[in-house]
Amino acid sequence: MKVPLLDLKAQYESIRHEIEPVLLKVAEDQAFILGPEVEALEQNIANYIGAKYAVGVSSGTDALLLAMMALGIGEGDGVIVPTFSFFATAGVVARLNAMPIFVDIDPETYNIDPVGIEKAYAKYKGDVNIKAIVTVHLFGQAAHMKPIMEFAEANGLHVIEDAAQAIGSAYMDERRVGSIGTAGCFSFFPSKNLGAFGDGGVVTTNDEELAHKMRLMRVHGAEKRYYHEMIGGNFRLDAIQAAVLNVKRKYLDSWHESRRKNAQKYNELFASQDDIVTPASVYEDDSSPLHPFTSLRFPHIYNQYSIRTPRRDQLMANLNEHGIGNAVYYPVPFHEQKCFADVPSARDAFPVADQISAEIIAIPVYPELTSDMQEYVANTIKSFL
């Protein structure tokens, strides 16, 4: 049996009758950049997230870049980021000539450690003007926003939510991620839970002035074409992506639900296995042990289902032999990246991220995964270990 890590063709088959007409309409209209489909998507996403404004952009990376540019982050500034994330989270900070300040992660959720934020702030605030904290909602699970928001407010810091993997995920069953901090940055890269037919992204915010500034900066800082009030870039979203996303958005919650069901099933299949660490299960199980992080009930959207084992590399080879898709998110934390060798905080200690990055592996959890396939994946892993 072959089981891919993700099967976008299966998803397409289920909605092609709705997608094909909207693609044709864009072809007939020949209006490709921004426009009514993008505006409809922005309204759609703002409503879904529970944020006042949404600004459609060219990618998740550009969502982060635009939010930071609009907040005036640049040379001499510092931005606190988790050391364990997709490259863009820290890459955009460096691109703006600001200094990323790396912080270790929580051992159960793999999200940024709130206590680590406070320590890093105290250590580096004399060297740079620390302006913001980026909270990544890794794999689709909300970071521990409450203490982070309290710390940020007490110290006048912005909180930028990197919600690229977490559209629709919520914090403590209440607010959806992307509506809590100063700005929420989402990606529509095809492998995210809400994926386009190419690159795309969106920034959400409740701050009217920030939304306005991002709209200008998205089109080279011009309110009136060819009259530039500020320096921006080309961060525009196109109509084809928005048309596809407006269709897919209707199915998003049912896809999340299928992913949760699959995750829950894996948790059960691996429950008797001491040598596998499953993701902190804080959504289904009210009786999960009390822990400052896991006692919270976050509706995880499982963009990835990652397990841990010290024999990760051997397991990976074994899964490859059995035709089972898998991937390591992420093998190298930021503090170990060559391009960040000169970043002062790269020399700090990150014991949790070091261990997790050596042990973690993602396995198929996509909505169309059948129970036969899932059992095959679980049995292959169990018999290997």
Ligand X SMILES: *Cc1c(COP(=O)(O)O)cnc(C)c1O
Q: What is the smallest separation between the CB atom of 329 and ligand X, expressed in angstroms? A: 8
Q: What is the smallest separation between the CB atom of 139 and ligand X, expressed in angstroms? A: 9
Q: What is the smallest separation between the CB atom of 303 and ligand X, expressed in angstroms? A: 8
Report the Cα–Cα distance between both ends of the chain, in Å, rounded: 20
Nearer to ligand X, 54 or 381 (CB): 54
HSE-CB for 214 with a 13 A CA cutoff: 30
Nearer to ligand X, 104 or 378 (CB): 104
Q: What is the smallest separation between the CB atom of 194 and ligand X, expressed in angstroms? A: 11
Nearer to ligand X, 11 or 374 (CB): 11
Q: What is the smallest separation between the CB atom of 137 and ligand X, expressed in angstroms? A: 8
Binding residues for ligand X, per CB under 6 A?
59-61, 85-86, 88-89, 136, 162, 164-165, 187, 189, 199, 201
Nearer to ligand X, 59 or 204 (CB): 59
Give the phi and the psi of residue 129 in degrees, each rounded to 5: -85, 95
**Which of 367, 27, 47 has the alpha carbon at shortest distance from 202?**
47
CA distance 301 to 305: 10
Nearer to ligand X, 86 or 350 (CB): 86
Q: What's the gap between Cα 365 and its chain centre?
A: 16
Nearer to ligand X, 86 or 283 (CB): 86
Upstream peptide bond of 330 is cis (omega within 30 degrees of 0): yes
Q: Which residues contact 143 (CB under 8 A, 6 or more apart)?
A: 109, 111, 112, 135, 136, 137, 161
Q: At what angle do helices 8-29 and 239-248 cross, to 10 degrees?
A: 130
Residue nearest to ligand X according to CB distances in the complex: 60
Q: What is the smallest separation between the CB atom of 365 and ligand X, expressed in angstroms? A: 15
